Structure 1
Amino acid sequence: MATDFRGYLTLLERRLHLDPSERDEIVNELHVHVQDRVLERIENGQSPEAALRETLDSLGTARELADGFYEVHSRGPWRHTALAVVPHLLLALTYAFHLWTNPMWVAAMMLIAISASVVGWRKGRPRWAYPWLGYSLIAPIVSWGLAMSAVGYGAWGVLTSGTLPLGMPIYVASFVYFAISLWVVIKFVSRVARPDWVMASLAILPVPFLAYWFFFFFNWGFAVEENARQLREVDSSAAIIFLIIAAATAIFYRIGRRLVRVALLAITTPSLIVLAWMSYQGGRGYVAVFLFAVMSMAVLLSPALFDLKDPKDDDEEQFPGVATTGLADFIE
């Protein structure tokens, strides 16, 4: 029995959670490397099957090799790290100087985020682009909340008074908008998450906190000047939180091990929610913040649904040795 090299490469490609260009380059280089080692062993008197088997045995399993490649290649250059933390620093600046109350500044921030996302998307989604892509989703997420608030308001009106407080076309438009935009975002997230769902989770790292902040914002009543002043008083806490997100992002980019990255995200998200809760509400409503932290973890890990393990992986990992067809073609 000789190891099926094509099956080995297929499993390796499936476990290489890297950009497609990097993945193809690694697979091509590995193919050349294995071919050279096999030819050397054949020249030393081994049979082609034995030469291929020993060469692949020296590499280890596809899972181990993929993990090693990921640890080395996923870090990227320092400039990617710097570009990735910029949006978080801009948000920290926005809250530190209360600039979120300036519509022109908010519009400029959204324009910058969308522009950076478009540039990153056109360049093949380099690693620095993921945080920018996450912020570009804020506008549709906020609009979802507004649309569902209108629907909820209508449902409450029907239950309490038997009439719709707003016209039926508004509710129909809200449902249609929510369905279409949800489909678009799911398609978008799936494209982002398929190469590496951990990077997609990094992209949405600020989303739970921003959702919490918007909830707090509307709960206080943004139209009342007195409450707006109270909101500005906690902006320093929000600025600190975004500085923490920036630091966590920088650490994430400099860590190569995938499991450590997941642990970093899993620790950061609920910690930020608890910090915001203590700063904004002084420790009240601990059950609600616990539920919100759990929901935040669910949102953070949701991109993993796009990377569910193929059941065939276990079979290929457990039974890598199969009769090789076309071995002569590989050697040639």
Structure 2
Amino acid sequence: MSAIDGDALLARMGPGVEALRGKLRTNQTLKDFTWFRVGGPAELYFVPADVEDLQTFMRLLPDDAPVHVMGLASNSLIRDGGLKGAVIRLTMRPFNDGKADVDSPRIRAGTGMSDRKLAAIALEAGIGGFHFYHGIPGSLGGALRMNAGANGVETTERVVSVDAVNRQGELVTLSHDDMGFTYRHSEAADDLIFVSALFEGYPAPREEIEAAMDAVQKHREENQPIKERTSGSTFKNPPGGSAWKCVDEAGLRGFQVGGAQMSPMHCNFMINTGDATAHDLETLGETVRKRVYEHSGTLLQWEVKRMGLFTNGQAVETFRP
């Protein structure tokens, strides 16, 4: 019997599911939603119609069912066995709307919005400080969860407050301090589902913002394998160093396991060359961590979020010195 049984979980939610207005499916394959194009099914897959619909869903979901929020999945590796519990995607319009207040100068945006769209809204409003989002191919929910950054700017520098739905279906507001931002991390409780956020920038000439966004795009095109099936930076930069240099110096540029490869163009990017499994990709990453440590003594930490079940007992052992 499969470890994934969405019909059984749905039955446990009771007749209240009939009131839900969003899209609810069982045993939904997830690989088509991820940048790597790998991954097994989700027991429950829910796309809420709006915040109130999400609150209703959370009140119905059994307390022991895990919850996973999936944005554009540009920084996720979903294992081949799939995900227990519920996968929630905030793709409906209420989660993708954004409005700028030039006088503040602030922007209120839904967390299903892409980072690039927020950069475009800021450009149109003449609000500076958001150009770095033009080069991050994810959604705002993920950016908040991992304090995404690029080009010398991090999400923490722009956040005023965040609205979230908790496990009990209540809407709560977190201050900037409540988010507890550190490098590629937020201390906000894992079971909070971010639904919108208030950001603040500074007045800036449109041509200045455009120039900064163009520079970001040029850097990506020249230095990153943006046309490949990848998931961005695989490992966090170690203190005072660069992950790609550690990988390169260990002779692992272009190193391959099955259909998974460390990009010859940017060796901190893993790519699916066409037929990789999630098992291939995670094995590649752990092998690189081991060999980098053996070469330089640097223990690289994953930036890509790995989640889900292994299949057929084929677990990937985490390297520990």
What is the TM-score with the length of structure 1 in the denominator?
0.26
Structure number with higher relative contact order (C-alpha < 8 Å, ≥ 6 residues apart) = 1
User: Comparing both structures, which one devotes a greater share of its residues to helix?
Assistant: 1
What is the TM-score with the length of structure 2 in the denominator?
0.27
Q: Which has the larger radius of gyration?
A: 1
User: Comparing both structures, which one devotes a greater share of its residues to strand?
Assistant: 2
